[in-house]
């Protein structure tokens, strides 16, 4: 029996139990759709909209997202351990309001992304690349940013006393975000 090709879904529609391997998906709209028990492995998503999709027991392994819109996406509902196998890559994506709280994002790439109001509370971001991303309102509490690349980030604000930052790489534009809590001002 042939498997139907993936297509855009209307809000509330469910995609269940699909396994997609080594494929490029372009321009799909899954906004407010439900992905249940799906697996995406070595898939490149380009120009897709997954905003407010519900990810229940859905795995993303070694996937790349390029120019995607993924607003208010709760990544914590994905299958346990699904993001641990291989780091995911986000390039030029909008992830405003996404939740990664408590997740292991070690080695992930968030390059040139909009991460406005993203929740990274108690997340592991060791060796993660957030270079060139906007972090306005992003929450970092109990976050492990050791050896993370924060060069070129904009609107970074985090308390180094509440986060692990040893070895994190910053440039002068990002450095003031670590000193805000001490009342230091740059002119």
Q: Write down the pLDDT at residue 85.
A: 61
Encode pLDDT of 22-37 as tens digits. Answer: 999 999 999 999 999 9
Q: pLDDT class for 184, splitting at 50, 70, 90?
A: low
Q: Check pLDDT > 70 for residue 60.
A: yes
Tally Cβ neighbours within 10 Å of residue 108: 24
Encode pLDDT of 110-130 as tens digits. Answer: 999 999 999 999 999 999 999
What is the side-by-side strand order in the sheet with 54-56?
14-16, 34-36, 54-56
Q: Write down the pLDDT at residue 87.
A: 87
Domains, the chain, with CATH or none: 95-182 (2.160.20.80)
Q: Which residues contact 21 (CB under 8 A, 6 or more apart)?
A: 39, 41, 42, 43
Q: pLDDT class for 70, splitting at 50, 70, 90?
A: very high
Higher-pLDDT residue of 89 and 84 is: 89
Euclidean distance between CA atoms 44 and 168, whole angstroms: 28
Contact 15, 30 (CB under 8 A): yes
Higher-pLDDT residue of 22 and 184 is: 22
Higher-pLDDT residue of 129 and 78 is: 129
Terminal Cα-to-Cα distance of the chain (whole angstroms): 66
pTM of the model: 0.91
Structural tokens at position 176: 């003031």
Percentage of the chain beyond pLDDT 90 is 75
Task: Give which of 104, 78, 108 is closest to 93, Cα–Cα.
Answer: 108
The radius of gyration of the chain from alpha carbons, rounded to an integer in Å, stands at 17
């Amino acid at each position: 029996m042939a498997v139907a090709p993936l297509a855009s879904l209307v809000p509330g529609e469910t995609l269940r139990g699909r396994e997609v391997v080594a494929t490029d998906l372009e321009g799909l709209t899954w906004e407010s759709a439900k992905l249940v028990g799906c697996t995406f492995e070595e898939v490149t998503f380009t120009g897709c909209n997954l905003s407010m999709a519900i990810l229940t027991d859905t795995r993303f392994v070694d996937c790349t997202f390029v120019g995607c819109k993924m607003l208010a996406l709760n990544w914590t509902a994905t299958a346990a351990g699904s993001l641990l196998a291989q780091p995911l890559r986000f390039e030029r994506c909008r992830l405003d309001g996404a939740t990664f709280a408590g997740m292991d994002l070690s080695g992930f790439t968030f390059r040139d992304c909009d991460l406005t109001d993203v929740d990274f509370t108690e997340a592991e971001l060791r060796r993660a690349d957030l270079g060139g991303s906007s972090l306005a309102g992003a929450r970092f509490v109990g976050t492990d940013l050791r050896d993370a690349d924060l060069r070129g980030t904009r609107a970074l604000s985090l308390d180094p006393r509440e986060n692990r930052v040893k070895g994190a790489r910053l440039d002068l534009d990002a450095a003031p975000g670590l000193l805000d809590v001490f009342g230091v001002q740059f002119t």
